[in-house]
Amino acid sequence: MLRQRTLKKIVKTTGIGLHSGTKVELSLRPAAVDTGIVFRRIDQAEPVDLPLRADAVGDTRMATTLQKGDVRVSTVEHLLSACAGLGIDNLYVDVTAEEIPIMDGSAATFVFLLQSAGVEEQDALKKFIRVKKMVEVRDSDRGGEKWARVDPYFGFKMSYSIDFAHPAIDATGQVVEIDFADVSYVKDVARARTFGFMHDAEALRAMGLGRGGSLDNAIVLDEYRILNHDGLRYEDEFVRHKALDAIGDLYALGHPLIGAYSAHRSGHAVNNALIRKLIDDSEAWEIVTFSDESVAPRGFVRAHHEALAAL
């Protein structure tokens, strides 16, 4: 059977916030069955819990942010992507600042952290959200059309395209298609880093964003080329990172998605609008569980065993 999962023990790390530039301590702690993923600001007078839910996502400018009153936790998408990739259902995420540390700009450090804690199977069936009909969100902006949709599909696959008029990005490909029946999240997605342009850095800083950004935690581009001396980790690392982000954004549903996700230039805002529209339409989805692995989607079963074996 496919069971819910948490961690075997507490793990901790320290890093800096990409946007704030300040130091953040992060602890990941095991949580009971059906807890979901709960972010906790432990630097407040009284700790404040921010449970992960589609409608708890507030500001989506440059990152996915959970908000409760004045208390926020932002840049949650890379950690959530790692949790989705390793199938972690129940987890407490304690942080000492309003941002999850950026680490190396990918999900690889979080994957390593989760794996070093060890994945614990729990005494309850894992819940999945199965898409029953197509749901789509379109958003026209000055730069053109953005959209994202989910369709029924027995497994999880994604198709993502970007459209950057930049020679270095164009040379690496602007489309990625991944079917997790055959592809390993840990090997083929988790290491893709976020990216940014030198000419945006100043404007972002004026908005109070991007202060912690550097060549250590992002691919940085000038008008023509990549400035990182070591080059890229994947041939199509730019668009692959967008897929990594989308996996994290979709995980705000609270459960893994059984369906096909496709998107064009969809950022955190469009992804969040998509999952809210899906959740609001009770005919578009259902919760399913698998007491018999042999009838579960192949990719989920393989990823399940991979995560448990990675210790």
Contact residues: Zn ion, CB under 5 A: 194, 245
The nearest distance, CB 105 to Zn ion, in angstroms, is 8
Distances (CA, A) of 134 to 18, 151, 248, 300: 35, 4, 20, 21
Structure tokens at 84: 């989705």
Query: By C-beta, is 18 or 131 nearer to Zn ion?
Result: 18
The residue among 39 and 110 lying less far from Zn ion, judged by its C-beta, is 110
Q: How far is the CB of 108 from Zn ion (least distance, A)?
A: 12
Residue 48, number of CB atoms within 10 A of its CB: 17
Burial of 282 (0-12, 13-18, 19+ CB in 10 A): exposed
Q: Which residues contact 274 (CB under 8 A, 6 or more apart)?
A: 135, 136, 137, 148, 149, 150, 266
By beta-carbon proximity to Zn ion, the closer residue of 42 and 201 is 201
Closer by beta carbon to Zn ion, 6 or else 106: 106
Give me the least distance between CB of 192 and Zn ion, in Å please: 9
Q: Computed over its alpha carbons, how large is the radius of gyration of the chain?
A: 18
248/76 Cα distance (integer angstroms): 8
Rounded to a whole number of angstroms, the minimum distance from the CB of residue 279 to Zn ion is 23
β-bridge partners, 125: 3
Q: Is 271 exposed, middle or buried (0-12, 13-18, 19+ CB in 10 A)?
A: buried
Pick from 101, 98, 95: nearest CA to 82: 101
For residue 91, give the DSSP letter: E
Which one of 264, 268, 304, 305 is the catalytic residue?
Answer: 268
Looking at the Cβ atoms of 95 and 131, the one nearer to Zn ion is: 95
In the bound complex, what is the minimum distance in angstroms from residue 130's beta carbon to Zn ion?
26
**268 annotated active-site:** yes
User: Mind telling me the catalytic residues?
Assistant: 268
